[in-house]
């Protein structure tokens, strides 16, 4: 039989004391009488535990900030913490909390209250954004032609989606400025807060559009003994696009999949496919855009030929089928160069 060395009571003891004597005068939690919460006056994010977070309700923010401010004795093991934030006015919230713990196997509950005080500040990201800060410039241009507006917007949409993916893990990433160029060459400039992300996106675009990337860096300043550079990534798109018709080695080809190092071509007459290095594709000449391809209505079809009707002139003519030709529906895709018509080998 054990007994309390303080009051002499028989029963279970905790460090030689009964439960009442052991817990007498002990406090296992502490909370300051106020907790300051900083909110960016520009983007509205809150600073909690060293991180800027986008949280909609201030009640939730006040509770999170209070929980972070709670101190629990090393002798106690928390089991559950319940909180309730209630608005006093726009800048102040009353927060009550109950903390359930175990101490030496005993269940202990304590209640604490505080005032969460909201204060305005400016986060580092918004400071950079307002200061027109940037580290990288993504320049997108074309070779031997003006960039069509639809392609420019398509590429910008791709860039914005890639930036959105990166910002999930990097709050400091943002687009400082977007310039749509109306010069003879046309193109796009996207100015970014991160040269590292700019490089990644440049090479992703190169892979998607068979483009080449050139990188140039300029030293702008030093910060804490470290050189800071601004890097420009020039993404030069080829003259051709997916679906265009090019003359390559004196034969007409349909442009297929574009890759970082090669482009797929399909011979219009033989249906033979080949992969051509992008360096060799510089010699290819664009003779037709995909928008020049017409949909002709099939009149009759044999094993070797199809007879089609031009959609605007209503002229009827016969075309030899390329090898492995298969059509879908009642129309076929036809390309006209000078007075000659070509039945495209890939339909659908």
Pick from 316, 318, 288: which is nearest to 306 by CA?
Answer: 318
324: helix, strand or coil: coil
Residue 123: the pLDDT is 94
Q: What is the dihedral of CA 267, 268, 271, 273, to 10 degrees?
A: 30
Residue 221: the pLDDT is 74
Kindly report, residue by residue over 158-207, the tens digit of the pLDDT. Answer: 999 999 998 888 888 899 999 998 877 789 999 999 999 999 999 999 98
Provide the β-strand partners of residue 218.
230
Domains in the chain: boundaries: 30-122, 132-237, 245-343
Using the Cα atoms of residue 150, residue 155, residue 159 and residue 162 in order, give the sign of their dihedral.
positive
pLDDT band at 33 (very low <50, low <70, confident <90, very high): very high
CATH class, domain 132-237, is alpha beta
| pLDDT above 60: residue 280 | yes
pLDDT band at 269 (very low <50, low <70, confident <90, very high): confident
Q: What is the rounded distance in angstroms from the CA atom of residue 224 to the CA atom of residue 226?
A: 6
pLDDT band at 1 (very low <50, low <70, confident <90, very high): low
Cα dist from 38 to 1, 47, 65, 98, 124, whole Å: 56, 6, 10, 24, 13
150: helix, strand or coil: helix
Residue 250: the pLDDT is 92
Residue 222: the pLDDT is 67
Provide the CB-side half-sphere exposure for 306 (13 A, CA).
Answer: 24
| pLDDT above 80: residue 223 | no
Mean pLDDT of the chain: 89
Cα-trace Rg, the chain: 35
Tokens of 141: 């241009």
Q: How are the residues of the chain apportioned to helix, strand and coil, as percentages rounded to the nearest 5?
A: 20, 45, 35
| pLDDT above 80: residue 347 | no
> Strand ranges (DSSP E) for 143-284?
175-181, 187-192, 212-223, 226-237, 245-248, 251-258, 262-267, 273-277
Q: Which residue has the higher pLDDT, 16 or 36?
A: 36
pTM of the model: 0.70
What fold, for 245-343? OB fold (Dihydrolipoamide Acetyltransferase, E2P) (2.40.50)
CA 220 from chain center: how many Å? 27
Using the Cα atoms of residue 278, residue 279, residue 281 and residue 282 in order, give the sign of their dihedral.
positive
Domains 132-237 and 245-343 are alike in CATH topology: no
Q: What is the rounded distance in angstroms from the CA atom of residue 154 to the CA atom of residue 29?
A: 57
Q: Specify whether the CB–CB gap between 192 and 200 falls below 8 A.
A: no
Residue 279: the pLDDT is 87
């Amino acid at each position: 039989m054990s007994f309390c060395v303080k009051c002499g009571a028989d029963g279970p003891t905790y460090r030689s004391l009964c439960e009442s004597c052991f817990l007498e005068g002990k406090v296992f939690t502490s909370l300051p009488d106020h907790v300051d919460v900083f909110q960016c006056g520009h983007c509205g994010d809150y600073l909690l535990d060293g991180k800027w977070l986008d949280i909609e309700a201030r009640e939730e923010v006040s509770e999170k900030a209070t929980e972070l401010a709670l101190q629990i004795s090393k002798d106690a093991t928390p089991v559950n913490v319940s909180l309730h934030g209630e608005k006093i006015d726009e800048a102040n919230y009353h927060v009550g909390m109950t903390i359930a713990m175990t101490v030496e196997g005993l269940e202990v509950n304590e209640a604490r209250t505080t005032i969460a005080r909201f204060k305005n500040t400016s986060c580092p990201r918004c400071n950079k954004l307002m200061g027109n800060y940037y580290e990288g410039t993504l320049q997108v241009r074309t070779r031997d032609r003006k960039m069509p507006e639809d392609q420019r917007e398509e590429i910008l949409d791709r860039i914005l989606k890639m930036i959105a993916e990166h910002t999930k893990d990097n709050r400091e990433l943002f687009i400082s400025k977007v310039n749509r160029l109306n010069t003879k060459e046309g193109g796009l400039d996207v100015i970014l807060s991160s040269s590292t992300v700019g490089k990644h996106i440049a090479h992703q675009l190169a892979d998607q559009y068979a483009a080449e990337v050139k990188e140039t860096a300029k030293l702008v300043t030093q910060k804490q003994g470290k050189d800071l550079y601004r890097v420009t990534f020039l993404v030069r798109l080829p003259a051709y696009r997916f679906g265009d018709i090019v003359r390559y080695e004196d034969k007409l080809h349909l442009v297929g999949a574009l890759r970082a190092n090669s482009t797929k071509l399909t011979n219009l007459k033989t249906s033979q496919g080949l992969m051509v290095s992008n360096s060799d594709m510089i010699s290819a000449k664009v003779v037709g855009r995909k928008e020049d391809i017409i949909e002709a209505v099939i009149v009759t079809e044999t094993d070797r030929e199809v007879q089609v009707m031009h959609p605007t002139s209503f002229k009827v003519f016969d075309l030899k089928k390329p090898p492995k030709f298969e059509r879908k529906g009642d129309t076929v895709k036809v390309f006209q160069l000078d007075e000659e018509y070509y039945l495209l080998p890939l339909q659908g």
